[in-house]
Amino acid sequence: MRYDLNLLPIFVALMEERSVTRAAERVGMTQPALSNALARLRIMLQDQLFVRERYGIQPTPIALELAPAIAEALAKLDDAVLGQQDFDPAKAERVLTIAPNGYVEFALVPAVVAKLHEVAPGIKLRLTPYGNDLVETGVISGTTALVLGRIVDPPDNLVVQHVMNEGLACIVRADHPHIGDSITRDQFERMKHVNVVPPGRMRAGLYQALAQQQLKREIAISVTNFFSVAEVVAVTDYCATLPNLICRRLAHDPRVKVLPAPVDLGTFPVEMAWHVRYRHDPAHRWLRSLIGEVASTFMVA
């Protein structure tokens, strides 16, 4: 039997998006055109494949059975084609979309952009919000090249790579009336705190570290990003517990001072993940290597 290979990416898009509208947007087709392609898919694969339900579409048992084989076939085809392509970062012209969490955007992305400006000026980054889960980032569907941060419960179609481990420290205002060059456990627990609220399950790290040490913390204000923490701490007697790289950036602000945490709060992983179809894409591989190089530089600085 002869197969129309152009229909297979549409099948994958429908499987991953579970929505005709989103699948059409992803593959750059109108909804009528995608519906027509789905009709041809049904004939080619001799099954209904997808059933419309109230909140989208659901795959049939045969579609679920076919999905891994089709995805693997497309990945192998990508590997064969992309493996023949040369990639010269100094001459490349490309826009890559990445989804960093708030920590990575504040601590690492500026250095990554500086390195790109130096060695690959034609490669541009487009940042998209991390969102509440991996689906919202676009990395599961493949519309986003990379997600960077804490990767929780990744699906099978994502490749996850450890980038580095990060620790935690505290900041208070430079002229705090009760805190000198260190902060004790008792002082920490009696102070009020600025809390940074990451999206979704990413917030678990610090809460778990505090719970393991039975360290209490009274939250005075919760903010949504790291950019506002120094502004709040500088005008209050509050304390904030933040990743070391964030503290390193804020240490240049004369209004605040960085102190070791009163107890060892351990470390948390920083990871990156990408869709399997980009496993051997030369540009993606090069970008992943560059991010790892930048991260390792920070860790030894």
Give 5-64 pLDDT, tens digit per residue. 788 888 988 888 888 888 888 777 888 988 999 999 999 999 999 998 877 889 999 998
pTM of the predicted model, to two decimals? 0.70
CA-CA distance, 279 to 275, in Å (whole number)? Answer: 7
Looking at the DSSP bridge assignments, the partners of residue 94 are 123
Note the pLDDT of residue 81: 61
CA distances from 240 to 16, 165, 272 (A): 39, 20, 26
Side-chain-side CA neighbours of residue 226 (13 Å): 19
Note the pLDDT of residue 49: 93
CA-CA distance, 215 to 185, in Å (whole number)? Answer: 8
According to CATH, the topology of domain 168-266 is D-Maltodextrin-Binding Protein; domain 2 (3.40.190)
264 CB contacts (<8 Å, ≥6 apart)?
Answer: 213
- 90, with CB counted inside 10 A (0-12, 13-18, 19+), is exposed
Tell me which DSSP letter residue 46 carries.
T
Return the domain boundaries, the chain: 5-82, 94-154+278-300, 168-266
Note the pLDDT of residue 262: 95
- The answer to whether 245 touches 107, Cβ cutoff 8 Å, is yes
CATH placement of domain 94-154+278-300: 3.40.190.10
- The answer to whether 41 touches 47, Cβ cutoff 8 Å, is no
CA angle 182, 183, 184 (to 5 degrees): 125
Note the pLDDT of residue 25: 82
CATH placement of domain 5-82: 1.10.10.10
Note the pLDDT of residue 191: 96
SS (H, E, C) 111-174: HHHHHHHHHCCCEEEEECCCCCCHHHHCCCCCCCCEEEECCCCCCCCEEEEEEEEECEEEEEEC
CA-CA distance, 178 to 161, in Å (whole number)? Answer: 43
Which stretches in the chain have pLDDT values below 50?
Answer: 200-202, 301
Residue type, 259: L
Note the pLDDT of residue 202: 45
Domain 5-82 and domain 94-154+278-300 have a common topology: no
Looking at the DSSP bridge assignments, the partners of residue 97 are 126
